């Protein structure tokens, strides 16, 4: 019987730096998406409803990969959060410097939202 691989590791460069990404094999769906949904309390059945291209077998396979490699995948997820925050800050800075009118409108909308919530 052949062993099935439910997760594929991709290697690529981003801004000159080597990166990795995990995908559910045969799909464009990231392992991150499956794991984060599961960690947020979604059942495997619910995850298949959220990502209709995934089978229940693929979801369980991805979760088994996560559980078998938890430390490595948790570090990968943490690094992804750090990178996302860096890109978010860079994006805001680019808007502030290159599109000051848009930046002012966005800041005004944010202030209004904060005042409305208070």
Q: Which of 33, 20, 1 is nearest to 76 (CA)?
A: 20
Q: Which alpha helices (H) appear in 69-99, and where do they start and end? A: 70-98
Residue 75 lies in a domain: no
Residue 94's domain comprises: 81-118
How high is the pLDDT of residue 110?
Answer: 87
pLDDT value of position 115? 85
- Residue 17: the pLDDT is 87
Residues of the chain with confidence (pLDDT) below 50:
none
**Number of domains present in the structure of the chain:** 2
What is the per-residue pLDDT for 3? 86
Among 68, 92, 110, the domain-final residue is 68
How confident is the model at residue 113, as a pLDDT?
86
Domain match, 33 and 62 both: yes
């Amino acid at each position: 019987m052949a062993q099935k691989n439910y997760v594929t590791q991709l290697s690529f460069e981003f801004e000159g730096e080597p990166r990795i990404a995990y995908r559910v094999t045969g799909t464009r769906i990231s392992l991150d998406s499956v794991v984060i949904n599961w960690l947020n309390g979604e059942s495997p059945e619910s995850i298949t409803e959220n990502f209709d291209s995934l089978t229940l077998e693929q979801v369980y396979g991805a979760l088994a990969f996560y559980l078998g490699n938890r430390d490595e995948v948790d570090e990968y997820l943490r690094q992804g959060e750090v990178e996302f925050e860096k890109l978010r800050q860079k994006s805001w800075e680019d808007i502030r410097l290159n599109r000051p009118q848009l930046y002012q409108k966005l800041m005004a909308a944010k202030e209004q939202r904060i005042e409305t919530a208070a």
